[in-house]
Structure 1
Amino acid sequence: MNRNTEYPIDWSWHDAQGFGRLVNVSGTMTSLGGSIATERVARATAAAMPRFARIHEMQARASEVIARLTGAEAGFLTASASAGITLAVAGCITGMDPARAEALPMDPGPRRHVAVQMGHLCEYGAPVSQAIALAGAGVRIVGQSTLAKDYQLEAALDETCAAALYVVSHHVVDYGMIPLETFIEIAHARGVPVIVDAASEYDLTGLLARGADIAIYSGHKFLGGPTSGIVAGARDLVRAAYLQNIGIGRGMKIGKESIAGAIAAMEQWMERDHEAVRAEETRALQMWQAAIADLPGITPIRIPDPTGNPLERLQVWIDPGVAGASAAQFAEAFGRNDPPLVIRGHEVEKGYLQLDPCNLMQGQAELVRDALVKVLSDGAAAAARIDPRAALAAARNGGTQAYLDWPG
């Protein structure tokens, strides 16, 4: 493969900075930078940097845009969706009392628990439980890992419970959990507000419309903004969460450049031709599927996103006895390709890997097609030589291992 001319891809930034090239077919992953910003968003971000601005004034503007984007009464921007969880929980504990906000996390007071279904206590790069604990709150687990019952949630929502958290993510158990509408109904009957973690979701209006008090989104995943989190919802709870910037939120603050870029990204999202974007993603999926459909031991199937986002991925089932290597070994082999393909390998132990087209740059769909054929056919022998246990461990533990190995 001619690295410079075969595909119309601009690698100049990576090469000039000495950073490794890569093609992201894993989705909106924080470890890869979240998403790709457009020139419009990049210009808005850069334009703010050489200027002073009143942060509260910019946040007020952001609140107006968030309200239009989500249907919320108000909103603000913070460092990340994870920070948004912590601040929303803290706001439910303290209300608008600045002294109580300053007392966190050491002294949250008696009303300090957050009810969460056990199946929603996922790991998204860090534990959900830790985002709650950073506010000084205690996690009150509801049900078991595969089944939560209404009466168990009711029992958890006593006078010491400040909030209930509901997680919408492919990371969580997708069966046996209390449905969102029922979860909200039970919590509201006990006077407990519901926070929904929807960091990587397309649906920016439905969760609040269905009764959630606060919905939290990532600004740098599907929206394609700078690193940021969006906290949207009822005005009193949003104000209480924003108040936490005088306390634990200080370390989670967002700068003028990211506020400006996030505003531009949100406005762009409301003007986006979503059908055209989806059509291009579908074209890539169809091309990839056709390219590898006849390879021995390989079964590519298009599957919908498990949380209902309007997108599909290519799930590639691999029969190691026929294909010559396991899904984990092929996932590692894709990472050794030139340039590396970062695939979605979080469930390779089940015998498949996934390809997500939502973050492709110009020319990369064709590059991925050719790399798929190369690695899954001609590269099968090389993949078979990869230690299968090490490949599986890398797929499962790679995110943590990168921190253990740093600096590289």
Structure 2
Amino acid sequence: MIDLDLYRKYRLKNVINASGKMTILGVSKVPTDVVSQQKFGDENFFEMSDLVIKTGKYLANLLNAEDAVIVNSASAGIALAVAAVIGKGQLYHVYHPYDNRYIQREVIMPKGQNVDYGAPEELMISLGGGKLVEAGYANMCKSDHLEMQITDQTSAILYVKSHHAVQKSMLSISEAVKIAHEHNLPLILDAAAEEDLNKYLKLDVDIIIFSGAKALEGPASGLVYGKKKYINWIRMQSHGIGRAMKIGKENILGLAAAIERYLKVGPESGKSMQKRLSPFLKNLNQIPYINAREVQDAAGREIYRAAVTVSNDSPNSAIKIVEELKNGDPAIYTREYRVNEGIIEFDIRAVQQNEMEKIINALIKIQRREN
């Protein structure tokens, strides 16, 4: 039940999130049982270093990882991982992360993965004291492209598994791991919005970074897990740049509960999503100047969406429709990545049946209003 009084109190828009697990909208709805463990954290005290270590060990055991640590976001996880592999566990580095004596600062990334996900990947690398070196080209990166960039100043290889990144002609994660390990380098994987927590451990990735608030449906947080040595180095950063990225006790307990729940329940299945999507697509196709079809997530995840193509003779362009939806009451947010092509995508993972009806009614109203 929506507490409309809070929307009124702060003069906020009521929002229907048909864009996906997006930070700009607060990412996910947190389940009640997870919120209850956050509440316990809010109402009690802990030795924080003990809480960080022991929740990490507990989660590592659940995931069959060597170690894990909860941080305040996936972005923080990138910066902390980069700082960790540069400093290699030296306490002096923790206090002086940008000291010129540390020359192994280069972090190699496929060029097509240097994306802006709300902030640039390269900015998080810089925050951790790293220097980005791009490999390959915007539309291609092979193993050879990655390997030719390795020098005696390389500290790590970073791979971004995301729908934001270029998908075609890209070396696989396992190929990137092979190159990294042949040169005694760690592979850092930004898997913020991914869904399979075990997949990348099986590929022998050294440092894996997940957002706690996306697929895992936890509070604002991040999970970093993988090889024990690197996780220890990352934890050390709490006395350095990590101090500015600290996470509260309530969110540590909340994410731990969310991961437990996720491992038992998992995400909504692709079949379930397709079943819910079918009547929505049928109703969308009754709206003038609109053609709707089912599409799968570009990065290959079992996520199915409605892709709406707006016809050229429509009284409203796709761009105009998106703006009208956002300016409505409730405000309806869609996926806008292809709106310049005349295509609007609707992600229904957080959309209920009554909200789908509101989307349909809003679109009918917009399309009947000729400009």
Answer yes or no: same fold by TM over 0.5: yes
Q: Decide whether the 8 Å contact of 2:215 with 2:267 is kept in 1.
A: no
Please name the residue that 1:284 is paired with.
276
Gaps of 5+ in 2: none
Q: Tell me if the contact between 2:104 and 2:153 (Cα under 8 Å) persists in the aligned partners.
A: yes
2:344 is aligned, of 347, 353, 377, to: 353
In 2 relative to 1, CA 101–154 (structure 1 residues): closer, same or farther, beyond 3 Å?
same
Picking from 207, 211, 220, the partner of 2:213 is: 220
Partner of 2:299: 307
Q: What SS does the corresponding residue of 1:116 show, helix, strand or coil?
A: strand
**1:30 is the counterpart of 2:20:** no
Q: Match of 2:147, SS?
A: helix
Are the counterparts in 2 of residues 69 and 204 from structure 1 also a CA contact under 8 Å?
A: no
| Aligned-partner Cα distance in 2 for 1:271–1:249 | 31
CA distance in structure 2 between the partners assigned to 1:64 and 1:274 by the alignment: 24
Partner of 1:337: 328
1:237-248 alignment runs, 5 A limit: 237-248=230-241
Deviation at 1:41, TM superposition (A): 1.3
Among residues 229, 247, 252, which one is paired with 1:259 in the alignment? 252
Q: What whole-Å deviation, never above 9, does each CA across 1:328-362 have from its counterpart, x for those lacking one?
A: 11111111222110111122111101000112257
Deviations 1:225-280 (A, max 9, x none): 110011010010111111111111110111101101111111111121645x6555
Q: Distance in 1 between matches of 2:23 and 2:42?
A: 23
Evaluate the alpha carbon distance shift between residue 283 and residue 143 of structure 1 in structure 2; reply closer, same or farther with a 3 A threshold: same
Task: State the partner residue of 1:326.
Answer: 317
1:317 to 309, 322, 339: 309
Q: How far did residue 156 of structure 1 move?
A: 1.4
Q: Deviations over 1:133-177 (max 9, x none)?
A: 111111111111112232221121222111000001111111122
Q: Which runs of 5+ in 1 are unaligned?
A: 1-7, 386-408
Matching residue of 2:190: 197
Instruction: Specify the code of the residue in structure 2 equivalent to 1:378.
Output: R
Match of 1:132 in 2: 125
Q: Could you say what secondary structure the match of 2:205 adopts?
A: coil
Residues 1:378 and 2:368 aligned together: yes
Q: Is residue 156 of structure 1 aligned with residue 149 of structure 2?
A: yes
- The 2-side partners of 1:362 and 1:304 are apart by 20
Secondary structure of 1:61's aligned partner = helix
- Which shows bigger deviation, 327-336 or 59-68? 59-68
The one-letter code sitting in structure 1 at the alignment partner of 2:117 is Y
* TM-score normalised by structure 1 residue count: 0.86
Pick closer, same or farther for the CA change 1:373–1:71 going to 2, 3 Å. Answer: farther
Partner amino acid, structure 2, of 1:82: S
Question: Is the 2:270–2:304 contact (alpha carbons within 8 Å) kept by the matching residues of 1?
Answer: no
- Provide closer, same or farther for how the CA distance between residues 16 and 271 of structure 1 changes in structure 2, counting only shifts above 3 A: farther
Separation of aligned partners in 2, 1:55 and 1:360? 37
Q: Note closer, same or farther for the CA distance 1:288–1:361 as it changes in structure 2 (3 Å cut).
A: closer
State the shift of 1:295 in Å.
3.2
Distance 2:213 2:110 in 1: 27
Length, aligned pairs only = 371
Greater alpha carbon shift after TM alignment, 173-182 vs 185-194 = 173-182
Counterpart of 1:109 in structure 2 is 102
Alignment of 1:1-12 (within 5 A): 11-12=4-5
Instruction: Give the Cα separation in 1 of the matches to 2:270 and 2:56.
Output: 28
Q: Amino acid of the residue matched to residue 177 of structure 1?
A: M
CA distance in 1 between counterparts of 2:335 and 2:286 reads: 22
Q: Secondary structure at the match of 2:148?
A: helix
Cα distance in 2 for residues equivalent to 1:129 and 1:205: 26
CA gap 1:331/1:103 in 2 versus in 1, 3 angstroms? same
Give the corresponding residue for 1:44.
37
Map 1:85-100; keep pairs closer than 5 Å: 85-100=78-93
TM-score, normalised with respect to structure 2: 0.94
Matched residue, 1:232: 225
Residue 284 of structure 1: CA displacement? Answer: 3.4
Note the alpha carbon deviations across 1:79-100, whole angstroms, 9 max, x for none: 1100000111111111121111
SS of residue in 2 equivalent to 1:363: helix
Cα 1:366–1:87 shift into 2, 3 Å: same
Secondary structure in 1 matching 2:29: coil
1:212-237: CA deviations, max 9, x gaps? Answer: 11110000112111100110100101
1:20 aligns with 2:18: no
Q: Calculate percent identity across the aligned residue pairs.
A: 30
Q: Name the counterpart of 1:165.
A: 158
Aligned to 1:367: 358
- Cα 1:311–1:114, aligned 2, differ >3 Å: closer, same or farther? same
Is the CA contact 2:13–2:329 (under 8 Å) kept in the aligned structure 1? no
| Mapped partners of 2:57, 2:248: distance in 1 | 18
CA gap 1:302/1:11 in 2 versus in 1, 3 angstroms: farther
Take 1:44 and 1:103, find their aligned partners in 2: how far apart are those partners?
Answer: 36
Q: Does the 8 Å CA contact 1:219/1:226 hold for their aligned counterparts?
A: yes
- Distance in 1, Cα, partners of 2:3 & 2:93: 51
Question: Which secondary structure does the structure 2 equivalent of 1:58 belong to?
Answer: helix
- Structure 2 CA distance for aligned equivalents of residues 352 and 65 of structure 1: 44
